[in-house]
Amino acid sequence: MPSGQLLLFALSESRDFALLVADRLGIALADLEESEFEDGEHKTRPLAEMRGRHACVVQSLFSDARYTVNDKLCRLLFLIGAINDAGAASVTAVVPYLCYARQDRKVEPQEPVTSRYVAQLFEAVGTTRIMVMDVHDLAAFQNAFRRPSEQLEAIPLFVEYFAARLGSEPLVVISPDIGGTRRAMRFSKALATACKGEVDTAFVEKHRAGGTIVSGSFAGVMEGRTAIIIDDLISTGGTILRAARACQEHGARRIFAAATHAVFAAAANQVIADNLLAQVVITNAGPIHRIDPRLMEKKVTVLDAAPLFASALKAEQAGS
Ligand code: R5P
């Protein structure tokens, strides 16, 4: 049985978000010592006495200007290992964005199922539990992780935001691929409740043609409505843009995009700048960078996911 107050750790690159969570919990971040060696190896150790304590480590796993995804993953795993070796009663990995979650099945023969290998790495270093936000595919995540896992959803944040601003307009929520249909339906239902009205759901199919990803069939009614495209993440922005074009072709009046994770790789800036999109709404579940600050100010709204993590950690503590 864990003793004493929760010890909340964060690697330096996830400190900003972890501080928001710690603030909500009314605690300070636990101290750790981080050092780096000339060839890129690193060493991190907790400075608190760990025996019998319940620890959580916050680390969002997408690259930033300093660290690659793989660096961040190693840094997290090694810290969890050190905490575990120091005698902690339990260690929860708090991973707002879980990397490699999209590689969760073999599409071509002999492809890696990397999400499962990542899950095995967490297990190998003694992770007791993992808490994530809007993973790519919930069933695949739950199957890959044999340890207790919890997924938080950004839907309540998006509902609050859009209901307050667009609540009186005819709305339709659209999933940019079939895999996201359930998420879109949950969002649409919650939004309808908050707006005390009807919110339709639509989806556009995404498939490969000659090696390129293209949009296929479209289902739903869009004419004269305000469309909100919802997805787990924006990487290059290609998926959102294709869906926005489909919304426009089918008569949407205005188009918004909501995505939990702002990976913003490659040409994402051009996509966000596109006049098709009225506004892009994301969360702070990972470092927001690789975006032009002027574009950020003009077109991007960031919602704070820290309160959701703080509540989930409080509930976990109460139950432990
Ligand atoms: C894939 O199915 C995901 O849910 C996202 O739609 C996709 O990863 C977004 O990537 P991009 O922005 O590069 O199209």
Concatenated DSSP letters of 80-127: HHHHHHTT-SEEEEEESS-TTTT--S-SSTT---HHHHHHHHHHHTT-
What's the helix, strand, coil split of the chain in %, to 5?
35, 30, 35
Q: Rounded distance, CA 142 to CA 135, Å? A: 10
**Which ligand 1 atom is at minimum distance from the Cα of 239?**
14
- Quote the pLDDT of residue 211: 64
Told to judge if 189 belongs to the known catalytic residues of this protein, a careful annotator would answer no
**Which ligand 1 atom is at minimum distance from the Cα of 268?**
12
- 103 touches ligand 1 (CB under 6 Å): no
- Quote the pLDDT of residue 309: 98
Q: Rounded distance, CA 144 to CA 153, Å? A: 19
Ligand 1 center to residue 130 CA distance, Å? 23
Which residues have a Cβ under 8 Å from the Cβ of 266 and sit 6 or more positions away? Answer: 235, 236, 237
Q: Rounded distance, CA 307 to CA 71, Å? A: 27
Catalytic residue among 206, 298, 299, 314: 206
Question: Can you state the angle between helices 69-85 and 114-124, rounded to 10 degrees?
Answer: 30
- 237 touches ligand 1 (CB under 6 Å): yes
Q: ∠ at Cα 311 (305, 312), nearest 5°?
A: 90
Q: Rounded distance, CA 95 to CA 64, Å? A: 15
- Quote the pLDDT of residue 4: 76
- 97 touches ligand 1 (CB under 6 Å): no
- 287 touches ligand 1 (CB under 6 Å): no
Cβ pair 190, 161 in contact under 8 A: no
Short-list 225, 217, 246, 242, CA closest to 172: 225
Ligand 1 center to residue 208 CA distance, Å? 13
Residue type, 301: T
Q: Rounded distance, CA 122 to CA 21, Å? A: 22
The size of the chain, in residues, is: 320
- 134 touches ligand 1 (CB under 6 Å): no
pTM equals 0.94
Burial (CB count <10 Å: 0-12, 13-18, 19+), residue 127: buried
Nearest CA to ligand 1 atom 10: 235
The full DSSP string for 46-65 is: E-S--TTEEEEEE---S--S
Q: How distant, in Å, are the alpha carbons of 92, 104, 105 from that of 115? A: 18, 5, 8
**Which ligand 1 atom is at minimum distance from the Cα of 234?**
12
- Quote the pLDDT of residue 210: 64
Out of 213, 239, 264, 272, give the residue to mutate to test ligand 1, the one with the largest number of ligand atoms within 8 Å of its CB: 239
Question: Can you state the angle between helices 181-195 and 155-166, rounded to 10 degrees?
Answer: 50
Residue 50 CA to its chain's centroid (Å): 29
Q: Rounded distance, CA 20 to CA 27, Å? A: 10
Tens-place pLDDT, residues 58-78: 999 999 889 999 999 999 999
Tens-place pLDDT, residues 182-223: 999 999 999 999 999 999 999 998 876 666 767 678 999 999
Q: What is the full per-residue pLDDT of the chain (320 aa) written as tens digits? A: 566 789 999 999 999 999 999 999 999 999 999 999 999 999 999 999 999 999 999 999 999 889 999 999 999 999 999 999 999 999 999 999 999 999 999 999 999 999 999 999 999 999 999 999 999 999 999 999 999 999 999 999 999 999 999 999 999 999 999 889 999 999 999 999 999 999 999 999 887 666 676 767 899 999 999 999 999 999 999 999 999 999 999 999 999 999 999 999 888 999 999 999 999 999 999 888 889 999 999 999 999 999 999 999 999 988 86
Nearest CA to ligand 1 atom 6: 239
